[in-house]
């Protein structure tokens, strides 16, 4: 659910699992792009999130991930917006297969390539989108405060 709910994996929302001796688990590293494998609708298959944390965490069987080796080609925080963009969602949609339960065809997806802006442009795009996101969060917080204030004042009028 962490990958479904967040563009950047929430480090405060992990589930713990027991790893038995000899059991192989995939470790998630900073900058890894994670995708959901299955959903009830094709629109929700391949929902992505980026891990920007430092804790050692493991990838569960409901997701798969890509590790970006060449940091000169890709800026991991940029992917937090890219994987939820309309062009990327349209790109990934054909990889959803199924009729009652849809699954991402990981093998076909891994064979494809994507075009990215230059590293400089990725950083610039991320900075702009991040500022917009912060502004939206600030406005939501203000709205909540104003709503609370309005309720208080209305309550005072009718005492």
How many Å apart are CA 28 and CA 110, to the nearest integer? 18
What confidence tens digit (pLDDT) does each residue in 67-111 have? Answer: 888 888 999 999 999 999 999 988 888 888 888 888 888 788 788
The answer for residues whose C-beta is within 8 angstroms of residue 83's C-beta and 6 or more apart is 7, 33, 35, 47, 48, 49, 50
Give the separation between CA 28 and CA 53, rounded to whole angstroms.
9
Confidence label for 159 from pLDDT (cuts 50, 70 and 90): low
Whole-prediction pTM:
0.80
């Amino acid at each position: 659910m962490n990958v479904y709910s967040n563009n950047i994996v929430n480090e405060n929302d992990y589930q713990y699992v027991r790893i038995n001796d000899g059991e192989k688990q995939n470790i998630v590293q900073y900058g890894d792009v994670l995708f959901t494998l299955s959903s009830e609708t094709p629109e929700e298959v391949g929902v992505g999130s980026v891990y920007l944390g430092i804790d050692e965490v493991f990838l569960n069987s409901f997701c798969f991930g890509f590790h970006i080796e060449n940091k000169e080609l890709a800026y991991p925080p940029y992917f937090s917006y890219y994987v939820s963009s309309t062009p990327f969602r349209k790109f990934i949609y054909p990889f959803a297969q199924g009729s009652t339960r849809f699954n991402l065809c990981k093998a076909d997806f891994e064979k494809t390539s994507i075009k990215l802006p230059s590293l400089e442009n990725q950083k610039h795009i991320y900075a702009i989108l991040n500022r917009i996101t912060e502004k939206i969060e600030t406005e939501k917080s203000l709205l909540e405060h104003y709503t609370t204030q309005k309720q208080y004042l209305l309550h005072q009028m009718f005492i």
